[in-house]
Amino acid sequence: MNLIYIIYKKIFLFFLFCFFAVSCKPRISLSGSTIPEGTRTVSVGYFANEAPLSPPNMPQIFSEKLRDMVSRQTPLTLVAKNGDIEFEGSITDFQLSPVSVQAGDLVSKNRLTITVRVKYSVKTDEKMNYEENFTRFADFNGNTNFSQVQNELMNEISRQICEDIFNKSFNNW
């Protein structure tokens, strides 16, 4: 009698486990990003240039990097306007500053710092909405002319900020 009871109990637990495993709907995609249920589209608006020293192509570089990251790493369809998820904002700071000075007041390292203000809106779950500033920087040799490394630094910093935005928006970091 005990043996039959144990067998039935194991069979019951196995089916119970299978039921829960099949009935659970995880909201995680293969990229590891969490996307709210019912969300199908995303729009990334043009990020306005509010930083006085920012070059005119900075908003385009940043907006395209964010669009590219969202379209490659989520199953969402990228639309021009009114997506279920919307990103909008502006570049608020673009600052070049010396980081370390050596003897004779010579700059040995410079730093480019970029700040982007982002407004993230989810139509299907307003609790996930946020508005936040994201800042990243990159250092470069003081002997290097900024115009020689400007595009490379802008691309790298934009990539880092986009990763931060993506992680905050889809990975809850």
Task: Label the pairing between strands 85-102 and 41-44.
Answer: parallel
E strands, the chain, are 41-44, 48-49, 77-78, 85-102, 106-122, 130-141
The string of pLDDT tens digits covering residues 101-130 is 776 667 788 999 999 999 999 998 888 899
Residue 22 maps to a domain:
no
> Taking a C-beta distance cutoff of 8 angstroms, is the pair 79, 123 a contact?
no
Tokens 């595009």 belong to: 151
User: Is residue 13, in this structure, part of any structural domain at all?
Assistant: no
For residue 140, being part of any structural domain is answered with yes
Asked if residue 41 belongs to a domain, the reply is: yes
Residue 99 lies in a domain: yes
Examine residue 2 and state whether it is found in any structural domain, yes or no: no
Q: Is 59 exposed, middle or buried (0-12, 13-18, 19+ CB in 10 A)?
A: buried
Most confident of 108-112, 130-134, 144-148: 130-134
pLDDT at 30 over 50: no
Asked whether residue 4 is assigned to any structural domain, the reply reads no
Q: For residue 3, tell me if it sits in a domain.
A: no
How many structural domains are present in the chain?
A: 1
Share of the chain above pLDDT 90, in %: 58
* pTM of model > 0.75: yes
- The percentage of the chain sitting over the pLDDT mark of 70, rounded to a whole number, equals 81
Instruction: Look at 8-22, 54-68, 76-90, 127-141 and tell me which has the smallest mean pLDDT.
Output: 8-22
Q: Which amino acid is at 3?
A: L
- Average pLDDT, integer, range 62-70: 95
Domain that holds residue 91: 27-170
pLDDT at 1: 58
CATH code of the domain in which 104 resides? 3.30.160.150
Distance, C-alpha 106 to centroid of its chain:
37
Q: Which residue has the higher pLDDT, 164 or 14?
A: 164
Position 22 scores a pLDDT of 56
Strand-pair partners of 49: 91
Largest CA distance in the chain: 93
Q: Is the pLDDT of residue 51 over 60?
A: yes
